[in-house]
Amino acid sequence: MASFGGRVEARIKLTRRQSVGITVLCTLLGAAGQVLIKLGAVQLGASTSPLAMVSNPLLFGGYVLYGLMTGLFVFALRDEELSILYPIIALTYVWVSGLSVWLFRESFNLPKALGVVTIVAGVSVLGRDGTR
Amino acid sequence: MMATPLSSMLLVLTASFVGSFGAVFLKSGANRMRFNLWHLLRNYRLALGVGLFLLSSYFFVLGMRRGELSVLYPMVSLGYVWTMIWSRMFFGEPLTRNKFAGLFLILLGIAFIGMGAAR
């Protein structure tokens, strides 16, 4: 079994742009997952039954999105440096801040706006790193 | 405004530390990954990475129950700092000016969002 297809090392390498793009997609999935988990938690209310936590469709959907996000992130990590991709996950804060205002009527204020702009600037500086 | 208990800070710091090792194991697993079910199942590094992330989120949830987001958010984001150090130590990744600048802006941004998130 071990030698089955063992020498097939040739494969498509992702460019930095592609790996960064996949990571940005991960942050969108992660933000959607967080929203579903929040909605599920609201639906559960005070219930702490483990069965309810596993069987709630919203929570379940949130976990599935987290799983997808992790799988995609591993895929992006294959060809790119961890020190570039990992901080990009912070974009999740940006999407969640926006979604929370839209879906949960949370306030949007000056510090949040500054935070969103600063994180986006940081991610674009990282994505432009010119080491190769 | 309620003060942030030390226990919450320690839990969140622990979460950031554990999570940064989750990232290290995911990267290490990804470096060795092959698209073959048998290899994926034997890739214990990926499993360990996911496990550490789950453990980290457990500490995170415990830590976030009490305290101020303006204090706790910047502590969570320290995970990015640890991960940058481990990237250099374990994978020999170069630390460039762009990485420092990008990381600094991201940490600042998260601190801002923590300040804006009233509880």
The pTM score is 0.87
- The answer to whether residues B110 and A94 touch, using CB atoms and an 8 Å cutoff, is no
pLDDT of B119 over the 90 cut: no
ipTM score of complex: 0.89
What percent of chain B clears pLDDT 70, i.e. is strictly above it? 97
User: Which of A83, A121, A129 has the CB atom closest to B105's CB atom?
Assistant: A121
Mean pLDDT of B69-82: 89
In chain A, residues with a C-beta closer than 8 Å to the C-beta of B54 are none
Give SS3 for A41. Answer: helix
Question: Does residue A5 come out as left (phi exceeding 0), alpha (psi in the -120 to 50 range) or beta?
Answer: left
- The answer to whether residues A30 and A89 touch, using CB atoms and an 8 Å cutoff, is yes
A59-115 residue pLDDT tens: 999 999 999 999 999 999 999 999 999 999 999 999 999 998 898 888 889 999 999
What does the pLDDT read at residue A130? 66
User: Which of B94, B102, B113 has the CB atom closest to A125's CB atom?
Assistant: B102
pLDDT of A5 over the 50 cut: no
What does the pLDDT read at residue B2? 61
